[in-house]
Amino acid sequence: MEINRSSGDLFVYIISGNTIQNKLLQKYINTKTLVKCALYPKLENVLQKSHQVHVPCILLYDCMENDPLELMTSFEINSKHIKNFYLVLLNVARCSALEQLAYFEMVRGIFYSDDELEHLVKGIAAIFNGEPWFTGKVLDNYPTKYKTIPSNSVNGAVISRREQQIIKQIQNGAANREIAEVLNISIHTVKTHIYHIFKKLNVSNRHQIAILANRGIQYCLKNLQGSDLDKRL
User: Over the stretch 104-137, which tens digit does the pLDDT of each residue have?
Assistant: 767 889 999 999 999 999 999 999 888 889 887 7
Pairing of strands 11-15, 57-62: parallel
According to DSSP, the residues that pair with 40 across neighbouring strands are 15
More confident residue, 77 or 174: 174
Burial of 103 (0-12, 13-18, 19+ CB in 10 A): buried
Answer whether 151's CB lies under 8 Å from 190's CB: no
For the chain, domain boundaries: 7-142, 153-224
Instruction: From the options 2.130.10.10, 3.40.50.10490, 3.30.470.20, 1.10.10.10, give the CATH code of 153-224.
Output: 1.10.10.10
d(CA 107, CA 179): 24
pLDDT of residue 221: 47
Q: What's phi and psi for 158, nearest 5 deg? A: -75, 130
Q: What is the pTM of this model?
A: 0.61
Contacts of 203 (CB under 8 A, 6+ apart): 197, 209, 212
The number of helix segments (H) and strand segments (E) in the chain equals 9, 7
Level-2 CATH architecture, domain 7-142:
3-Layer(aba) Sandwich (3.40)
Q: Are 7-142 and 153-224 in the same CATH fold? A: no
More confident residue, 76 or 231: 76
pLDDT of residue 151: 47
Alpha-carbon distance values, 54 to 9, 49, 106, 198, 223 (Å): 10, 11, 17, 34, 35
